Amino acid sequence: MATQTMAPPPTTQTSLKTQLRRAERRRKLNAFLLVAPLALFLLVIFVFPIGSMLWRSVDNSELSQALPQTAQLLSAWDGQQPPSEAFYASLAQELKSALANGNIGSLGRRLTYEDPTLRTLVTQTIRKLPDTPETTWQQTFSTLNPRWAELSTWQALKKAAPTTTDRYLLASLDLERNAQGEITAVAPEKQVYIDVFLRTLAIAGAVTLICLIMGFPLAYLLATLPTGTSNLLMIFVLLPFWTSLLVRTAAWIVLLQSGGMVNTSLMGLGFISQPLELVFNRVGVLIAMVHILLPFMVLPLYSVMKGISPHYQRAAISLGAHPFKAFWQVYAPQTLAGVGAGTILVFIMALGYYITPALLGGPSDQMVSYYVAYYTNTTNNWGMAAALGSLLLIITLVLYMLYQRLVNQQTPNRR
Amino acid sequence: MQSHPADPLVRFTGVQKTYDGEHLVVRDLNLSIGRGEFVTLLGPSGSGKTTCLMMLAGFEVPTQGDIYLGTQRLNTLPPYQRNIGMVFQNYALFPHMTVEENLLYPLKTRKMPKDQAKAKVERILDMIQLTKYAKRRPQQLSGGQQQRVALARALVFEPQLVLMDEPLGALDKQLREHMQMEIRHLHEQLGLTVVFVTHDQDEALTMSNRVAVFNDGVIQQIDSPQNLYEYPANAFVAQFIGENNTLPAKVISRDQTIYRLEFGQNQVSGAYNADTLATQEAVLFSIRPERVRIGKMAQTLPNQFSTVVQELVYLGDHVRLRCEFAGNTNFNIKVPVSELTTPIQPQDHIMMGWHDQDARALKQLPQ
């Protein structure tokens, strides 16, 4: 009996394998079905928009969509020979159809980036363009506006002709292509974005550092206090989440302005005679951002510290280490995972801050997000908005990868 | 009794400790521990044994009294200057350091030259047979290996005293018994002075030179394992160490160290006590289950009684009978299987008996 059940005949064995596979397949299907809604959700609201944003930063389809035939001719053209009659004929035909299709608006906007006067030239030309040429189209165009006979007009059109471009990404790094197609720095007075990126990194870095300095002792206190007291304090830590970001930011203006509570109190107590400038500058931005982001530092630190037994420090002390040394040599290294998580969380969130610097900062405190918003809302320049956003995303990803590498080095062979 | 060794290393004199200012966790503790002694503090949780250990280690401060290590008064000496090795309940091996770095740590804090420290660590790794695990991290070791590293870390800087706070609690039974013997051998080989805290009486009996039984913040008895078991000082010790059948009784008469006690319905038995008990004093009659003989073996004994078997449990080397006797429905008898000649069923009436010297007349616990 026993030996029979232990060694089943080979036929049973294969069917056993099939059974196992079938059971596994069902489990895999179940697992897939369980994550399917979330996967779909992420695809629709995360992967797809980010993908389309990344694409928009190099997208250059305005001209090729409005004037497909002309775009082909321009691409094949060397940019030196005067354009032939075919160019003018194709342009005349396609301008009319573009007008009918409603593509002129986006074409005009795109041409402005090459030369602000091109838009007027195009719109004026369309209005006066006859159905048939008098002699040649070339002649007709040149009569309508002598600029059509100039090589530079067509060179500008040629620049806008390819379906993709690196002009937005280059512009985000204060670079451009010159007439020869080489990458050069833009004129010094036009350089802004490198500064903006550096400023964004500096503000995010400063906020992260202040959060760490203030959050570490707080998290340590929370993790070492008796449960009842620490739960009460934890509610205070989470209190900022109960009001909206906008309300909190506005509240800081009220508190920090020159006639605000902080200044009047300090002056009333005789600490200062002049009100401090605490708002509409970097100080205000830092105060408000630290206030908002502090919980994101405290929570990961707290959860890591909660798991560290107080025995470790005691053990170190019993082995002859001064309590201060025991803290730094034994306790602090064990909190590194929490420090890393909190730091990266706060830093990445701070990189994308928009409302707080916009309301509490001065003109020189605006971060990348402000310019993204400016290009999307005010000038409709989606290419620039997407390019700035993409660069911010790349910076974030690089920093995250560095962090991962650091964490992996810290814990090389953990099981 | 050897409650005051000739060459004490550790002395508690009149030590008291309270955490809330109302209840004393440790009251009037006087304890001397000799050089090279293995003393176990045994007691139920909350009896004050761990507090004593923590005061010795320096993590708690006595509210009254003094603690001496050799000639040095410890009360105001911070724990990191006491030079006392300690093994913690969960080992407290530093998870971000390798085994080797863990062992080097106490030597580094003592600023020992590097090559000297390395040699010391190598020697102790060899002693605990974990040389090839030197570069591993503690969480990659088994429970027993971690335990050995923790022990080695507490010994590597050659402290004059080693404290162990229930160090074997997390191990399974077999490994625990193995480690008990290993620690016992280390103690003998290295001539260590060890203060060991546990709530496991078997552990205490296996390892110690002397055991201090704690209850309610007071040492109930401090003695060798054998004396503790054979001559418990009071009812608590008798109950806590090993098993015991107790009956409320009354002293009738005395013949030197043997008292005659009356219990139940005018039943009388002899019982030993070295101290003086007053006639008519209410005491506890106590006898260990293995000291009760039954059937033929009982026939020659001075104290013989009839009883009814309630339950019978076979335990391999012995059979355990639960009987009803003199109002105690939980009167247990251990009978070696070899002595069980006639089969016994529940509800059987049997004869049982014991020697006067095997029974104890114990003072009642103050209520």
Contact status, residue B200 vs residue B49, Cβ threshold 8 Å = no
Residue A181 φ/ψ region, left for φ over 0, alpha for ψ in the -120 to 50 degree band, beta for the rest: left
Identify the sign of the CA torsion A359, A363, A368, A372: positive
B235, B263, B287 - which closes a domain: B235
Confidence at residue A4, expressed as pLDDT on a 0 to 100 scale: 46
Q: Which residues of chain B register pLDDT less than 70?
A: 1-6, 365-367
Do B327 and B250 have their domain in common?
yes
Query: What DSSP state is assigned to residue A46?
Result: I
Do B182 and B315 have their domain in common?
no
Do B270 and B320 have their domain in common?
yes
Asked if A318's CB is within 8 angstroms of B85's CB, the reply is yes
pLDDT bucket at A15, cuts 50 / 70 / 90: confident
Cβ count near A193 (within 10 Å)? 20
Confidence at residue A222, expressed as pLDDT on a 0 to 100 scale: 93
Which residues contact residue B53 at a Cβ distance below 8 angstroms, ignoring those fewer than 6 apart?
B41, B163, B165, B195, B197
Do B334 and B190 have their domain in common?
no
Q: Determine contact: B95 vs chain A, CB below 8 A.
A: yes
What is the rounded CA–CA span in Å between residue B126 and residue B130?
6
Confidence at residue A240, expressed as pLDDT on a 0 to 100 scale: 79
Confidence at residue B3, expressed as pLDDT on a 0 to 100 scale: 52
Do B73 and B152 have their domain in common?
yes
Mean pLDDT of A133-158: 86
In a domain, B3, yes or no: no
B235, B252, B285 - which closes a domain: B235
Nearest to B109 among A314, A319, A333 (CB): A319
pLDDT at A134 over 90: no
What is the rounded CA–CA span in Å between residue B302 and residue B355?
6
Q: Does the complex come out with an ipTM higher than 0.90?
A: no
B170, B204, B235 - which closes a domain: B235
What is the rounded CA–CA span in Å between residue A290 and residue A302?
17
Place of tokens 């593509």: A103
Write the pLDDT tens digit of every residue in A193-249: 999 999 999 999 999 999 999 999 999 999 998 888 999 999 988 887 888 888 988
Do B78 and B225 have their domain in common?
yes
Do B112 and B211 have their domain in common?
yes
Range of the domain at B77: 8-235
In a domain, B342, yes or no: yes
Asked if A311's CB is within 8 angstroms of B92's CB, the reply is yes
Structure tokens given for B292: 């009760």
Write the pLDDT tens digit of every residue in A321-350: 999 999 999 999 999 889 998 999 999 999
Confidence at residue A78, expressed as pLDDT on a 0 to 100 scale: 84
A-contacting residues of B 115-174, CB under 8 Å?
137, 139-140, 153-154, 157
Query: What DSSP state is assigned to residue A59?
Result: B
Confidence at residue B150, expressed as pLDDT on a 0 to 100 scale: 92
B-contacting residues of A 304-333, CB under 8 Å?
309, 311-312, 314-323, 325-326, 329-330, 333
Mean pLDDT of A350-354: 91
Confidence at residue A1, expressed as pLDDT on a 0 to 100 scale: 40
Strands, sheet with B349-354, edge to edge from the N-terminal-most edge strand: B293-294, B349-354, B303-314, B318-325, B328-336
Q: How confident is the prediction for chain A on average, in pLDDT?
A: 87
Mean pLDDT of A127-142: 85
pLDDT at A283 over 60: yes
In a domain, B1, yes or no: no
Confidence at residue A346, expressed as pLDDT on a 0 to 100 scale: 94
Question: Could you tell me the CATH superfamily of domain A193-410?
Answer: MetI-like (1.10.3720.10)
Mean pLDDT of A269-288: 90
Q: Give domain limits for chain A.
A: 2-56, 61-162, 193-410
Closest CA to B311 of B301, B303, B320: B320
What is the rounded CA–CA span in Å between residue B32 and residue A249?
66
Q: Which of A2-11, A70-79, B102-111, B356-365 has the lowest mean pLDDT?
A: A2-11
Count of A–B CB contacts within 8 Å?
70
Cα–Cα distances in angstroms (integers) from residue B171 to residues A368, B180, B299, in the given order? 57, 11, 46
Where helices occur in B12-113 by DSSP H, the ranges are 49-57, 99-109
Do B184 and B138 have their domain in common?
yes
Q: Determine contact: A334 vs chain B, CB below 8 A.
A: yes
Do B160 and B23 have their domain in common?
yes
Confidence at residue B233, expressed as pLDDT on a 0 to 100 scale: 86
Do B117 and B210 have their domain in common?
yes
What is the rounded CA–CA span in Å between residue A314 and residue B60?
11
The count of domains in chain B is 2
Asked if B157's CB is within 8 angstroms of A312's CB, the reply is no
Q: Which residue has the higher pLDDT, A303 or A240?
A: A303
In a domain, B334, yes or no: yes
Confidence at residue A209, expressed as pLDDT on a 0 to 100 scale: 97
Confidence at residue A2, expressed as pLDDT on a 0 to 100 scale: 43
Place of tokens 């003989």: B293
What element of type H or E holds B330?
A: strand B328-336
Structure tokens given for B67: 């603690």
Do B200 and B53 have their domain in common?
yes
| Strand B161-165 with B194-198, pairing | parallel
In a domain, B2, yes or no: no
Do B53 and B192 have their domain in common?
yes
| Strand B210-215 with B194-198, pairing | unpaired
CATH classification at residue B263: 2.40.50.100
For B81, nearest residue in chain A (alpha carbons): A320
Confidence at residue A413, expressed as pLDDT on a 0 to 100 scale: 44
